[in-house]
Structure 1
Amino acid sequence: MTFGEQNTEKEAHEMLSYAFEHGINALDTSEAYPIPMKKETSGRTDLYIASWLKSQPRDKVILATKVCGYSERSAHLRDNAKVLRVDAVNIRESVEKSLKRLNTDYIDLLQIHWPDRYVPLFGEYLYDSSKWRPSIPFVEQLKALQEVIDEGKVRYIGVSNETSYGVMEFVHAARVEGLSKIVSIQNSYSLLVRRFEVDLVEVCHPKNCNIGLLSYSPLGGGALSGKYLDINSEAAKKGRMNLFPGYMERYNKSIAKEATMQYIEMAKKHGLSPVQLALGFVRDRPFMTSSIIGATSVEQLKEDIDAFLTTQRPLPPEVMEDIEAIFKRYKDPAIL
């Protein structure tokens, strides 16, 4: 989501090639990228991926993208729309444009980026009943997704920033109507954001709905690397939280920074880097299918891959005990 905003096409290609050469075969993009969403840059991430993908074996790359949920501010993504919805018209236009930008015949995984209905998003915590609004029925959304699957344009479908209610409704609707079932959920999960464990972990369990978690922001938007603790550092100045005022402000709150400092000190105690601790923790969760990292340089990407591959697996019991001790004091430090 930085390609086309924080990264040039050349830099994007360097990172994609390095990742592919070191065993990473899944790419996650969106019609909304790069972030922050702007009409002038819209779609550049896909274009950079497409120009790299030309020289790669397509069948060896798992390409995931997303169709936006309800939005009154992103109408520029459609030819003729004032509001984005997750309905047949929007899904079809989104898929057709994504295929064209990505220069591919099919999408391996199409995800609903955020729900069509109201839900608390991006750091919001409590459900506000006064914000309820009419939404596209789950069955109607699934039927529209089924159409692009039947046409061979999409292989699998998933959701993102979704709740237990949403997952269960999608699974139930698919079962009753004989439609394709969602296979994945892409939600935020890290040392600072562990809400998935409250009830989604039960819903998504293999014996229940059998939905794989693709965690985004396993480094808390970079916060868990510790680079934002020194606001005058070069790394902090280049970080997206400082480049885009108000972006991911939930990680800049004092209590979130306090929790981050606790985890960083604990990592040092056990001879781990902050990145090793954060990515090792997410990697080892029994309900984790894959974690999604967003790097803005080959150096950063290398550190992330090395941390994932070389950190003791699983993390030692004494490390997990210390993580849980900190978690008891800072259960939701990144909520707004």
Structure 2
Amino acid sequence: MSLFHRRPLGRSSLSVPDVCLGTMTFGEQTTEADAHAQLDYALEHGVNFIDTAEMYAVPPRASTCGASEGIVGRWLKRQAREKIIVATKVAGPSRNLDWIRGGPLALDRTNIRAAIEGSLQRLQTDYVDIYQLHWPERNQPMFGQWQYDPAKERECTPVRTQLEALAELVAEGKVRHVAVSNEHPWGIMEFTRLADEFGLPRIVSTQNAYSLLNRTHETAMTETCHREKVGLLAYSPLAFGHLTGKYLADPAAAGRLTQWPNFGQRYTKPNVAPAVAAYVELARSHALTPTQLALGFVRSRWFVASTIIGASSLAQLKETLPATLTPIHGELLEAIDAIHLRYTNPAP
């Protein structure tokens, strides 16, 4: 019997385990053999929810584009497909990814259709359970940017047109449910409003960063998603490894941030290190590892439908998956909030 709970996603009939296995390391830090071992281990423990994307592995580059989906696909073909929940994403424009479909210039019908066809081929399946727009096409702050700048406005594919393209894929059976990622309240409202008004598929979730270092979701996004019945798939719950405390002890510790110094810009802000130090001290004062505190906190939040955890190795997954079950309540939660008020969202 699985120790992980299942939670409904949006207004759909789909329910997902409250922990999801992320695959962004597959094909870069993680070999195919280790990745398949991770997938087996997660499934054995009741986690049948897998998240990937056409641009993975990360950091994104031409030589590894699609590698994660390919690795998942070669594992998926040996499974009972109906028992696995697979989520993937279509890359949007404005990220200098020239090797993806010649550089995706829009989230229009042509690009969305080309993207899903490629993903289905790599995943070796006829359909995906959740298809996500990896980031909005429109101008908005994301990936560590923290201010909206109207001077950066540009022409973009209307949200209704994006939904209509996704609706075709749902009608054809290639996609069961549609979703977004790295969204803001305006986007959530626009997608749900237009879906309701024109009878188009309703988004079931948004995949956004959420951790002890980034609780920006808790204000406008929490209310918006709660009222519109849009689940949060929380990514980066360990803040790219910062919340394990390893970079405090050794700034050159092995990890994505030392292997690729320009990756993870949101974690270069000045209050990240002191906030991490405070959370590490709190965890140890309660006989917890920093990883247990960080992952247990995210999974415990009432508005988180599923916590996405990723690992570079099976050994790492064997630490992080059980850590998500750490109970967080009472005095410990009050202490977490006290640190949050002292170092509010140091890595938005």
Give the fraction of aligned pairs with identical amino acids, expressed as a percent.
Answer: 49
Rounded to whole Å, the distance in 2 between the matches of 1:266 and 1:199 is: 28
Aligned to 1:328: 341
Aligned to 2:143: 122
Cα offsets for 1:255-284 (capped at 9, x unmatched): 201100100001111111111111111111
Cα offsets for 1:20-60 (capped at 9, x unmatched): 11111110000010011111111111111111112211111
| Other structure's SS at 2:241 match | helix
Rounded to whole Å, the distance in 1 between the matches of 2:285 and 2:139 is: 43
Cα offsets for 1:251-310 (capped at 9, x unmatched): 24442011001000011111111111111111111111000011011111111111123x
Rounded to whole Å, the distance in 2 between the matches of 1:82 and 1:331 is: 36
| Contact in 1 for aligned 2:295/2:323 (Cα 8 Å) | yes
Aligned to 1:230: 249
Aligned to 1:212: 231
| Contact in 1 for aligned 2:283/2:290 (Cα 8 Å) | yes
Cα offsets for 1:173-228 (capped at 9, x unmatched): 101111110010000000000010120100111xx210000000011111101111
Q: Tell me if 1:156 matches 2:172.
A: no
Aligned to 2:257: 241
Gaps of 5+ in 2: 1-23
Residue in structure 1 matching 2:188, options 157, 167, 171: 167
| Contact in 2 for aligned 1:70/1:86 (Cα 8 Å) | yes
Aligned to 1:90: 111
Rounded to whole Å, the distance in 1 between the matches of 2:139 and 2:109 is: 19
Aligned to 2:49: 26
| Contact in 2 for aligned 1:120/1:126 (Cα 8 Å) | yes
Rounded to whole Å, the distance in 1 between the matches of 2:199 and 2:266 is: 40
| Contact in 2 for aligned 1:190/1:220 (Cα 8 Å) | yes
| Contact in 2 for aligned 1:72/1:84 (Cα 8 Å) | no
Aligned to 1:273: 289
TM-score under structure 1 length normalisation: 0.94
Larger relative contact order (CA 8 Å, sep ≥ 6): 2
Aligned to 2:3: none
| Contact in 2 for aligned 1:86/1:116 (Cα 8 Å) | yes
Aligned to 1:3: 26
| Contact in 2 for aligned 1:212/1:288 (Cα 8 Å) | yes
| Contact in 1 for aligned 2:182/2:206 (Cα 8 Å) | yes
| Contact in 2 for aligned 1:241/1:249 (Cα 8 Å) | no
1:83 Cα deviation after fit: 4.0
Q: Which amino acid aligns with 2:106?
A: R
Size of the aligned set, in residue pairs, is: 325
Gaps of 5+ in 1: none
1:72 Cα deviation after fit: 5.3
Aligned to 1:37: 60
